[in-house]
Amino acid sequence: MTLDQAMELVKERIAYADYSSATRISGQLAVDLPDDVRILLLAAESQYMDGRYVESERYADQALAVDRGSLVGMVWKARSLHAQGRHPAALSLIDAALVRVVGDATLASRLLNEKATILMDSGDLEAAYAQFSLSVDANNRNIDSLYYLSRFRDQGLSDDLVKWVAFLIDSDQLSPADRIMAHFALANEFARRGDPARQFRHLDAGNKAKNHAVSYDTGTHEAEIRQTIRTFSQSFMEAPPAASSGDLTVIFIVGMPRSGSTLVEQIVSGHAAVTAAGEVPFLKQAIGEYQEHHGLADPYPFWIPREAARLGEIADGYARMMAPVAQTPCVTDKSLPNYLFAGLIHLAFPNAKIIDVRRHPVDTCLSCYRQLFAGAALPFVYSLDNLAARYRQYEKLMAHWHAVRPGRVHTLHYEQLVSDPEPVIRSVLDYLELDWDPQCLQFHKNRQAVRTQSNTQVRQGVYKDSVGRWEASREYLGPLLTLLEPAADAPKL
């Protein structure tokens, strides 16, 4: 395989969200060719996408040591710094890059978009909106910035920009990815303006195109759910937890996307004893490293029963990954698909807590359908049929966890939280065995970065207009309406 072919393979693995393979291949290339800036930047990108932000920063630094003027290197370093919570340093780096591109409107627009994203994630929404606007002023074909402007509830896109985005879609001047993003931008804007017909025209167009660009098979996921239930049976789950040397208390926040989990993490991390780690991939990475270390060829969870005595090693590996992030005795992990691993968490993390965040199923799925996620992440959200099936599978597995270990998982209902926050928050803190902290009520003032699709909403305090939002769109929801009838095996929570 030639070098160019190897680099293309890494890019392909990133496109398909196979970040572990991308990091492995690019890391080996960087060892073999430590002065090749292209490889170092590809390694920085791979590590960043895999959630290994310290390693990403290291590769970006190596690239900048070879080529101090590498704008791409500066961007990847800034993104890595931002992901580690070092926002001022990230902003300073982007500002330094902007000085280098004076006179180049296209590059300036891209860098302004980077700066705005950092500001948005760190909670400075007014400054973020201003920088996104400057980005569009510099290059009105920057679809990323147009899309992000459409996500601001109180401002959105001007009439002129709405006409401009519609023109770009109709004129066939956009790449497939930009066309998808443009459809989502107009869907956001028409939702803000209360025009469901035009909202769903663009939503359906954007989701249809995105669904063709990703790969997802609901039958495969159903088989995974069934195997998980078979593996973590009632009798197996009664075994004593594995020994682990870690004393960190991890608060796993799990559930479906768009269920209110970001709000819950902001509330919990307002407590003086809790640090928010966000959506970190550490558990999946720790499982993968355990499998590789012990030469386990069969996929998770088939090997779990015969490895039961050593599962604490997974918790130890996880704790090593989390150590640079955890600044307090407790830390949140908001990687939502960890509900798939709740049985493993029970057995390998004796001190861990699990919060399952529930929102009305149709509101949850509609909110997913309205979002454009990065890359190939969450491939099931771009089809109403797949969303309905995925929610049922989630219900089935959560019903199993509640049945085999009653009380191990705490269920939090989003509608109750926004209706009357304090008693719900007190109940959560009681489950977490934490004393009351009034800062938990001031979650919208929590300055910890939020790098999810909810990064604008959680800065606005509690608002109830997202409850029952699906009802105004009933005629467009088709398969999601089946979720109004409870599944036969769904628990009464």
State the residue for tokens 């910890």: 448
Architecture of the domain whose range is 1-100: Alpha Horseshoe (1.25)
Q: Provide the pLDDT for residue 448.
A: 56
Q: Which residue has the higher pLDDT, 484 or 196?
A: 196
Q: Provide the pLDDT for residue 442.
A: 87
Helix/strand/coil for 249: strand
Q: Provide the pLDDT for residue 459.
A: 44
Rounded CA separation 59/142 (Å): 28
Q: Provide the pLDDT for residue 245.
A: 55
* Residue pLDDT, tens place only, 47-84: 999 888 999 999 999 999 999 999 999 999 999 999 88
pLDDT-based confidence at 487, cuts 50/70/90?
A: low
* Residue pLDDT, tens place only, 158-205: 999 999 999 999 998 899 999 999 999 999 999 999 999 999 999 999
End-to-end CA distance of the chain: 55
- Are 414 and 359 spatial neighbours (Cβ–Cβ below 8 Å)? yes
Give the CA count within 13 Å in the CB-facing half-sphere of 448.
Answer: 25
The pLDDT of residue 90 is above 60: yes
Quote the DSSP letter at residue 193: T
Architecture of the domain whose range is 219-484: 3-Layer(aba) Sandwich (3.40)
Rounded CA separation 268/281 (Å): 20
Rounded CA separation 107/94 (Å): 12
Q: Which amino acid is at 372?
A: L
Question: How many Cβ atoms sit within 10 Å of the Cβ of residue 38?
Answer: 14
| Least confident segment among 29-43, 97-111, 292-306, 475-489 | 475-489
| Least confident segment among 133-142, 177-186, 239-248, 324-333 | 239-248
Q: Provide the pLDDT for residue 331.
A: 96
Rounded CA separation 467/107 (Å): 41
* Residue pLDDT, tens place only, 427-482: 999 999 999 999 999 876 655 554 454 445 544 556 667 788 899 899 999 999 99
Average confidence (pLDDT) over 126-149: 96
State the residue for tokens 């309406």: 481
The H or E element that residue 109 is part of is helix 105-121
Q: Provide the pLDDT for residue 239.
A: 81
Asked if residue 479 has a cis previous peptide bond (ω within 30° of 0), the answer is no
In the chain, what are the domain boundaries? Answer: 1-100, 219-484
Q: Quote the percentage of the chain above a pLDDT of 70.
A: 93
CA-nearest of 123, 199, 124, 193 to 156 is 193
Task: Indicate the average pLDDT of the chain.
Answer: 91
